Structure 1
Amino acid sequence: MDSQITEIAADIYRIHTPVQLPGGFTFSFNQYLLVDEEPLLFHTGPRKLFAPVSAALARVMPLARLRHVALSHVEADECGAMNEFLAAAPQAAPLCGRIAAMTSMEDLAERAPRALADGELLCLGRHTVQWFDTPHLPHGWECGLLMDTTTRTFFCGDLFTQPGAGDQPLTDADILGPSEAFRQAMDYFAHVPHTPATLERLATQAPRTLACMHGSAWSGDGGALLRDLAGCLAAGRP
């Protein structure tokens, strides 16, 4: 198994691994590396993907330089290889929201997490990232998402999940259609009352690149696409 790494925005790299699942179904797992004075990795991938993912990362910078290993919420594809990355990067710490730190990461991670408050800014050097609490969007009480305010790249986690190999690193084609078709077949959204307001708050940040966890990253008017997603969700559950 081989992971590919591609720069999708200034200093931001998509690490991409397509995986064959039972039944001939192909699915992709992406991590995002932000290279700066304090490099940040968003998602670790499952523990079993640590070897190819870390090898791809090492083609851009030494693994030991990592300072922040970030996650949206607690699932294997988000943080399964957390402790493997912490062992390889002695100065790195988990980065997550306060709920994830309290409920899981203070116990699961081999190193104490840095917990960000809703709206908190973190300067990495040339880039500054901002944390947004997004409870139950798309799922998980502890869920949160991260925006690079410098490039307007939105690390949007499981939002806009696309099926298939996701071989195109960055696209401006339709991703809402494929992601909604996937959600119709296997809905993974919590559908809580505050979802529309949360999506509108994210849309007002005017992201220009959506760093999707599954499928291609996307370039365009991210605010409009987030509002389109809100419209699809408001139209009814599958």
Structure 2
Amino acid sequence: METKVDEIAPNIFRLSTFIPDMPPYGFTFNQYLINADEPLLFHCGGRNLFESVSKAASNILPLDKIRWISFGHVESDECGSMNQWLAAAPKAQVVHGVIACMVSLNDLADRPPRVLENNEVLDLGGKRVRYIDTPHVPHAWESGLVFEETTKTLFTGDLFTQLGNGPAVTTESIVSSAILAEEGFHATALTPWTASTIRSLKSLNPECLAVMHGSCFKGDCGAELEALATYSADALTKAQTS
């Protein structure tokens, strides 16, 4: 396995590992390192990816400089290597929302996590990340996303998941590719609040979507979010009437 590094926005690095033997077209696992006075890692990756991803991250900065670790929700590919990162970065602390800490992370993390309230801003020094609760979007009670305010980068977690191994960043719409993946995996929890939660992210006015599985997007992010929200609303209606 090889983890590739791309700077998708100033001092925001995508660490991407492509697994070609995952059907049908292979799959990318992306982590993001925000380089600031207090660097933050978003997504840890699974335990078996730690060696490759941490080696790539060490080419950006010494691992012991990492101060914060976060992720979308509690799932192996999001936080399986969390405690390996905590061991490699002795000053690091996991940060997440109230539900994730209460239900899982107070027990799972080797060091107590820091709780972030909805819309609380964590000042990294040169970068600012806003934590946003997105319960059950895409598919876990404790789900949440972060938005880096200085570069207007929204870290979307499993939203906009794509198959295959596309470019690090694209200006072409990723919605159709995300719908193709969703109709294969059926990973999104369709609730009465799914579409409105996705739609609410438009108010951030993001300029970059940092996707966990697939290419990042730069361009009219509001239109991308609206299209994904519309698809989710239509999928819920179809499920209710079928």
Normalized against structure 1, the TM-score is what? Answer: 0.97
Structure 1 CA distance, aligned partners of 2:19 and 2:199? 33
- Equivalence for 1:210: 209
Cα distance, 1:21 vs. partner?
3.2
Equivalent-residue separation in structure 1 for 2:13 and 2:99 (angstroms): 27
User: What is the alpha-carbon distance in structure 1 between the residues aligned to residue 190 and residue 127 of structure 2?
Assistant: 33
Distance 1:39 1:98 in 2: 22
Partner of 1:229: 228
> Structure 1 residue 194: deviation in Å?
1.4
2:74 is matched by which residue type in structure 1? Answer: V
- How much does 1:197 deviate? 2.1
CA RMSD in angstroms, aligned pairs only: 1.2
Q: Which residue of 2 aligns with 1:145?
A: 145
Aligned length: 237
**SS in structure 1 at match of 2:20:** strand
Deviation at 1:22, TM superposition (A): 5.1
Q: Deviations over 1:21-79 (max 9, x none)?
A: 35564111000000000000000010000000000001110011000010110001100
CA contact (8 A) 1:93 1:111 kept: yes
Counterpart-to-counterpart distance in 2, 1:190 and 1:77: 18
Shift of 1:224: 1.5
Corresponding residue number in structure 2 for 1:33: 33
Match in the other structure for 2:70: 70
Amino acid at match of 2:163: P
Unmatched segments (≥5 aa) in structure 2: none
TM alignment of 1:94-109, pairs within 5 A:
94-109=94-109
- Is the 2:196–2:229 contact (alpha carbons within 8 Å) kept by the matching residues of 1? no
Fraction of identical pairs, as percent: 44
Distance 2:223 2:27 in 1: 26
CA contact (8 A) 1:206 1:221 kept: no
TM-score (norm 2): 0.95
User: Does the 8 Å CA contact 1:155/1:211 hold for their aligned counterparts?
Assistant: yes
User: Partners of 1:218 and 1:188 in 2: how far apart?
Assistant: 21
Q: CA deviation at 1:236?
A: 2.1
Given residue 190 of structure 2, which amino acid in structure 1 is its aligned partner? Answer: H
- Say whether residues 1:128 and 2:128 are aligned partners: yes
Q: 5+ unaligned residues in a row in structure 1: which ranges?
A: none
Q: Which has the higher helix share?
A: 2
